[in-house]
């Protein structure tokens, strides 16, 4: 029973920290004139679909960083 108290205390602490009413500024903003036209289009077939392949919709993402050290952000899109 004594090992349960630290666990309950940590859960209560995590809940009290995560339930703040403070509004935060958004981290991203929408840019409509960027010229990027990437779409991750998935075509379901009888062999490749969500029933046969559980991770059919998982795996796409975006990476933004200065990979080649030119001072500009590089954008990499991945698709599944």
Domain positions in the chain: 40-80
pLDDT tens-digit readout, 6-55: 888 888 888 777 766 667 787 778 888 888 888 888 888 888 888 888 88
Question: What are phi and psi for residue 74, nearest 5 degrees?
Answer: -100, 140
Tell me how far the alpha carbon of residue 43 is from its chain's centroid.
Answer: 22
pLDDT at 37: 84
Q: Is 61 exposed, middle or buried (0-12, 13-18, 19+ CB in 10 A)?
A: exposed
* Residue 42, CA atoms < 13 Å, CB-side half-sphere: 14
Residues 56 and 44: beta-carbon distance below 8 Å = yes
Q: Residue 66 — pLDDT band, cuts 50, 70, 90?
A: very high
pTM value surpassing 0.75: no
């Amino acid at each position: 029973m004594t090992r349960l108290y630290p666990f309950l205390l940590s859960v209560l602490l995590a809940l009290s920290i995560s339930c703040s009413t403070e509004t935060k500024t958004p981290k991203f903003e929408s840019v409509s004139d960027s010229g990027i036209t990437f779409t991750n289009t998935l075509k379901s077939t009888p062999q490749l679909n969500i029933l046969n392949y559980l991770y059919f919709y998982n795996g796409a993402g975006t990476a933004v960083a200065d990979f080649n050290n030119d001072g500009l952000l590089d954008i990499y899109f991945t698709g599944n």
